[in-house]
Amino acid sequence: MSTLSAVPLAAPAVVQTRQPRHSALYLLVLAGVFLVVNALQVTLVTGNPRVWLGIATWIACTGIGWILTRRLLAGTDRLIFATCMVMSGWGLLMIYRLLPNFGDRQAVWLVVGTVAMLTALRFPDLLGRMRRYRYSILLGGTLLLLATILFGTNPSGFASAPALWLGTGSVFFQPSELLKIVLVVFLASYLAEQYPVLRSAALFERKRRLFLAPRIAGPVVLMWGICVVILVWQRDLGTAILFFALFVCLLYVASGSNWVLVAAAGLILAAGAVAYFLFDVVQLRVDIWVNPWIDPDNRAYQIVQSLMTFSAGGVFGQGIGLGYPSYVPVIHSDFMFAAIAEEFGFLGVITVIALLMVLVSRSFRIAALQQGKPYQTLLAVGFCSLIAVQSLMIMGGVVKIIPLTGVTLPFISYGGSSLVVSFFMVGILLRLSAVKG
Amino acid sequence: MNIELITLLRAISGVLLFTLLLALMWLVWRDLKATEQQVSSGRRPLGRLTVVEPVGKTFIPTGQIYPLLTVTTIGRSPGSTIMIDDSFVSSEHAVIAMRGGQWWLEDRGSRNGTQLNDMTIAQPVIVTNGDIVCVGQKRFRIELEH
């Protein structure tokens, strides 16, 4: 009988793609060595050994996360975990180098983020629950956002800075980050329910595009509109644009109609034109995008300094700790990409883009593998298009390809809320990657 | 000494970064190959069974899709190719199979019967593209690959 059990029962019906477990491990080890070498250099240059606290935290989070993800759920995508860990480690290293006092805080957020990811991975019936209570979740998210208008503060303490944070003492949270998850969940579950109606042109005559009927589009546009109006009110325009892009991506995937993209392009141009004349913030951003050299010392200071860091970086960079990225105001959050460009050069920039590319392409593959399950597909598409669009917006803004919009570079920029929310999204993506067929 | 050490570290860091980049590029390339393979092997299922809902005279897809294999069993038992958790469905309800170049639908002695285009079938029948198969409360549209 023992010989029988050794014979495989049956060949799997579907060709399984190889799990790149070993390559993900090699990637993490390589990144770990890279981080240690650079931490050594930071210590030598600045004489501040605090960076090792961050490196130790990162190694602990990565190691424990690596073991626990496999323990908690078999068959998850290891490469997604590896890439987001590499990015967060690199970000942490840069924060310790730029602002050593902020580093410990970000290290704590890294731990919280890893816990959030593991929670998303194993919380019983998380996806079903999120689907069932979508209206309550959305209501809660909107209330939080409204609370920001009433009680919002800005931890940096500038009077003119937008007050987008909630919190007391030394712990602050940005509700608009949390709203990303809420909105993806709401849109995915609602559109999945309306999927038959969205997809069937046969139900009515060809000419009437059904998804534009108020009964279908109404709740979505209303909910999304409330969020965007509040964000515009708060002058958090980057997040508003991000939500618009998310809405378009999900509607496009759910309906499969190219007209969604055409209409969205028209709408965003119109909205941009209106915003240009209504909001002086938008006007300023567009003006310094067209020509930053009219006022390089004042209004366009940030973007001009950012372009300087790119040219100072060259191909191989100045080396960590040896550049002067601190000339760029708030380098640690929105302009982290510029700091990497100066100290790691073109090579570093391309590597960041490659890391994001691996993360996003593998996430889209997870979405594609959820064939026949609209809710799961839309959830995966929503999360990975959020990460992709957000990275494109800030990277394009920093190199002045598009007007600058203040969003964080996922996993790399300084910011607790952003890091935790990104890790939570990755946790759900990992959870979806384990369920095949 | 410090300057030499830092130069050395910078060089090591550059090499590591380059290796990291190469590794990432290789991973993307391999992913592309694997996806290509999967897409071409994904064509192997000979067709699809799309779950539909009747609305008036037409049927609209609900978004659920099952692959059609050379032998596709439908039933409540977990061993079926398409498992339906529905008390109207028998544990081994119906089979759709390719025999002699034709697709046959066969009822496996189910309690509530299998309907082909709203007619209960008594013996194995040949099915073609666009036929609606009803098992329990679920309707499938047969979509064959050409």
Domain ranges in chain A are 3-433
Residue A115: the pLDDT is 94
Residue A429: the pLDDT is 93
Is the Cβ of B102 closer than 8 Å to some Cβ of chain A? no
Q: What is the mean pLDDT of chain B?
A: 84
Quote the DSSP letter at residue B72. E
Interatomic CA distance for residues B139 and B55, integer angstroms: 12
**pTM (2 decimals)?**
0.79
Q: What is the dihedral of CA A309, A314, A318, A321, to 10 degrees?
A: 30
The answer to whether the CB atoms of B23 and A79 lie below 8 A apart is no
Interatomic CA distance for residues A321 and A324, integer angstroms: 8
Task: Name the strands in the sheet holding B125-127, side by side, starting at the edge strand that comes first in the sequence.
Answer: B82-83, B71-75, B94-99, B102-107, B125-127
The set of residues, in sequence order, having a beta carbon less than 8 Å from that of B59 and lying 6+ positions away, is B52, B53, B132, B139, B141
Residue A1: the pLDDT is 34
Residue A216: the pLDDT is 60
The set of residues, in sequence order, having a beta carbon less than 8 Å from that of A285 and lying 6+ positions away, is A403, A404, A405
Question: What DSSP line would sit under A292-306, residue for residue?
Answer: GGGSTTTTTHHHHHH
Residue A241: the pLDDT is 84
Residue B78: the pLDDT is 83
Residue A217: the pLDDT is 65
The answer to whether the CB atoms of B24 and A34 lie below 8 A apart is no
Chain A residues with CB under 8 Å of B132 CB are none
Q: Which residue has the tokens 């930053």?
A: A292
Question: What DSSP line would sit under A346-364, residue for residue?
Answer: HHHHHHHHHHHHHHHHHHH
The answer to whether the CB atoms of B13 and A320 lie below 8 A apart is yes
Is the Cβ of B11 closer than 8 Å to some Cβ of chain A? no
Of the candidates B139, B142, B138, B111, the one whose C-alpha atom is nearest the C-alpha of residue B125 is B142
Backbone CA torsion sign across A322, A325, A326, A330: negative
Q: Which residue has the tokens 């209004």?
A: A299
Residue A156: the pLDDT is 63
The answer to whether the CB atoms of B27 and A23 lie below 8 A apart is yes
Chain A residues with CB under 8 Å of B2 CB are 44
Q: What is the mean pLDDT of residues B59-87?
A: 84
Q: How far is B126 from chain A (nearest CA, A)?
A: 25
- Rg of chain B taking only CA atoms, in angstroms: 26
Residue B75 has pLDDT above 70, yes or no: yes
Contacts A–B by Cβ distance under 8 A: 109
A242 vs B40, more confident: A242
Residue A47: the pLDDT is 82
Is the Cβ of B137 closer than 8 Å to some Cβ of chain A? no
- Tens of each residue's pLDDT in chain A, 437 residues: 333 333 333 334 444 445 445 788 889 999 999 999 999 998 888 888 889 999 999 999 999 999 998 888 888 888 899 999 999 999 999 999 888 888 888 999 999 999 999 999 888 888 888 888 888 888 888 888 788 777 777 666 555 566 677 766 667 778 888 888 988 998 898 888 877 776 665 444 455 555 556 666 666 677 677 767 776 777 777 888 888 888 888 888 887 777 778 877 888 888 888 888 887 878 888 888 888 888 778 788 888 888 888 888 888 888 888 888 888 887 778 888 999 999 999 999 999 999 999 999 889 888 887 777 888 889 999 999 999 999 999 999 998 888 888 788 999 998 888 999 999 999 999 999 886 53
Residue A5: the pLDDT is 36
